[in-house]
């Protein structure tokens, strides 16, 4: 208990010190307000240039008047002259503040400003004796008073949980975090630019649905009071986008949030960004070509190279991506050839021999997929298309005409992760109804992720859908790879977190 009391005694002065500092900041604000200088009354500030514009194009700005604004991250007062650093959206720049340049009273006000305050600076661009590009201030305006203390400069914000909960502080203190989210925005805009150039049309479909289909996942359920009906948050974009193919739009895509009631880990968040596209008159081979070209284009445009490094591992997007069937992949890495396994009993025997756990409801194709997950996925580091999945795990996909136990589907893998999932879309309404019936039976047997019958979607297929290729991309995992980010939370501005009240 003595050690515990000692820790409590150590924390108490720190808390008291922090409370004192916070009170001092509030007192400074009260003084400003009493003097008619309330920064929160300022509604705008004329910014003419950003920090990196001045640094990168100094020849254009040297000796000229500039107006910048941002957060004060450093201040050193030296009698009649001081230095501070102002951080804006592009970076930071040093500001030289002299009493004789801004006036005696404004200089007194400046000396009372705190790290974290938002300021506007007007002055001229110049270079100090040490060669640092700076702004010689003619005026410094307090635009917003920071009433909270930023993390200590040299240690920064390193607590991972706090970084995710207070992303606004994380972005201020860690430039590499801001760079990640700038790249995320660039990746998504580059995807749009590529698809728009290929004749695709961006659309929006409902997030609140009565039947959450198109993927194997548990949905979130909510209640719509106005209609007194239970609704679900979508788990996929698929079934509505296919309706648009039926309607004749031919090439459509959507980038949007989907919601899956599942656990949280380094690659999963219950809400995430999915991109799905559908193209009439092509198949899953056409989707492979599109995926390969899209990934190559995005990497080159955003990173300037098709050679990427994730966690020290090099991956080459410039070479043709490997293409292998699921059966051949399982044979390659486990030694089990499912071409030689013809019955469910044989599949179960192979699973037991290789210590693969399965459930009573699992069929031969399910067991093949379990082999794949156990023996193959981790080996798929370089870009790889795994093709021709068993029909049991692909309820929305066309059968292979020459082998109806399998379907025209592929999953795209990098770094051992599934990055995309694509089909030659099932457009036979009779076959689709049978697949839905099989899914309903699986749900009845306890599979909470099974699809339910969607009568309106079946009606759309009855109207007639052309041969179509479709694909779904996990945007967050793509961003993780291209920014060398360890966890999905590192590429989500505000990831799902457990409430601190619990």
- What's the pLDDT at 4? 41
Q: pLDDT tens, 148-161?
A: 999 875 455 667 88
Task: Tell me the three state secondary structure of residue 215.
Answer: coil
Task: Tell me the three state secondary structure of residue 307.
Answer: strand
Q: In degrees rounded to 5, what are phi and psi of residue 258?
A: -125, 165
Q: What six digits make up the tokens of 381?
A: 């580091």
Ranges of H-type helices in 2-145? 2-34, 51-56, 58-61, 99-102, 104-112
- Cβ atoms of 42 and 88 within 8 Å: the answer is no
- Give the number of other Cβ atoms within 10 Å of residue 52's Cβ: 14
- What's the pLDDT at 1? 44
- What's the pLDDT at 202? 98
State how far the Cα of 454 lies from the Cα of 25, in Å rounded to an integer.
59
Q: How far is CA 187 from CA 242, 268, 301, 434, 472, in A?
A: 25, 20, 8, 39, 16
- What's the pLDDT at 151? 86
Name residues of the chain where pLDDT drops below 70: 1-16, 153-158, 502
Q: How far is CA 362 from CA 236, 325, 331, 347, in A?
A: 24, 21, 20, 10
- Cβ atoms of 387 and 328 within 8 Å: the answer is no
Radius of gyration of the chain measured on its C-alpha atoms: 29
Q: pLDDT tens, 22-59?
A: 999 999 999 999 999 999 999 999 999 999 999 999 99
- DSSP designation for 197: H
- What's the pLDDT at 323? 98
Handedness of CA 213, 219, 222, 223 (dihedral sign): positive
- What's the pLDDT at 9? 43
Sheet holding 409-414, edge to edge: 201-202, 251-259, 271-280, 468-474, 417-424, 409-414, 384-387, 322-325
- Element holding 209 (H helix, E strand): strand 208-209
pTM comes to 0.90
- What's the pLDDT at 6? 40
């Amino acid at each position: 208990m003595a050690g515990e009391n000692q820790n409590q005694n150590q924390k108490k002065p720190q808390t008291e010190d922090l409370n004192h500092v916070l009170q001092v900041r509030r007192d400074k604000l009260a003084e400003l307000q009493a003097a008619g200088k309330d920064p929160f009354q300022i509604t705008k500030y004329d910014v003419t240039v950003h920090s990196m514009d001045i640094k990168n194009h100094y020849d254009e700005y040297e000796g000229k008047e500039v107006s910048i604004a941002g957060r004060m991250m450093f201040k050193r007062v030296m009698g009649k002259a001081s230095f501070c650093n102002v951080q804006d959206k592009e970076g930071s720049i040093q500001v030289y503040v002299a009493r004789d340049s801004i006036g005696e009273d404004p200089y007194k006000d400046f000396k009372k400003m705190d790290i974290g305050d938002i300021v506007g600076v007007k002055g001229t661009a110049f270079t100090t004796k040490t060669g640092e590009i700076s702004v010689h201030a003619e005026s410094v305006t307090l635009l917003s008073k920071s009433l909270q203390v930023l993390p200590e400069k040299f240690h920064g914000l390193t607590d991972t949980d706090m970084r995710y909960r207070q992303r606004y502080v994380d972005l201020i203190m860690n430039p590499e975090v801001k760079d990640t989210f700038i790249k995320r925005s660039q990746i998504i805009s580059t995807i749009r630019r590529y698809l728009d150039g290929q004749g695709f049309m961006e659309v929006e479909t409902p997030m609140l649905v009565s039947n959450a289909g198109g993927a194997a996942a548990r949905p979130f359920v909510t209640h719509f009071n106005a209609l007194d009906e239970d609704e679900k948050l979508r788990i996929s974009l698929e079934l509505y986008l296919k309706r648009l193919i039926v309607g004749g739009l031919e090439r459509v895509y959507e980038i949007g949030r989907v919601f899956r009631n599942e656990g949280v880990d380094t690659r999963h968040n219950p809400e995430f960004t999915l991109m799905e596209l559908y193209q009439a008159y092509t198949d899953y081979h056409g989707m492979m070509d599109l995926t390969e070209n899209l990934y190559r284009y995005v990497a080159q445009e955003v990173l300037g190279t098709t050679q990427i490094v994730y966690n020290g591992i090099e991956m080459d997007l410039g070479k043709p991506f490997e293409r292998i069937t699921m059966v051949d992949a399982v044979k390659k890495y486990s030694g089990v050839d499912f071409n030689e396994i013809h019955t469910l009993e044989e599949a179960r025997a192979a699973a037991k021999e290789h210590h693969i756990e399965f459930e009573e409801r699992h069929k031969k194709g399910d067991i093949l997929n379990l082999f794949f997950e156990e023996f193959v996925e981790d080996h798929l580091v370089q870009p790889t298309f795994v093709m021709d999945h068993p029909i049991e795990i692909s309820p929305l996909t066309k059968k292979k005409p020459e082998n109806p136990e399998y379907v025209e589907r592929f999953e795209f893998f990098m770094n051992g992760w599934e990055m995309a999932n694509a089909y030659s879309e099932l457009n036979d309404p009779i076959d689709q109804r049978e697949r839905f019936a099989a899914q309903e039976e699986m749900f009845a047997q306890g599979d909470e992720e099974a699809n339910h019958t969607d009568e309106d979607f079946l009606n759309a297929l009855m109207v007639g859908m052309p041969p179509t290729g479709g694909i779904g991309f996990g945007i967050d995992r793509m961003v993780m790879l291209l920014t060398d980010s360890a966890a999905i939370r590192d590429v989500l501005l505000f990831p799902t977190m457990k409430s601190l009240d619990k």
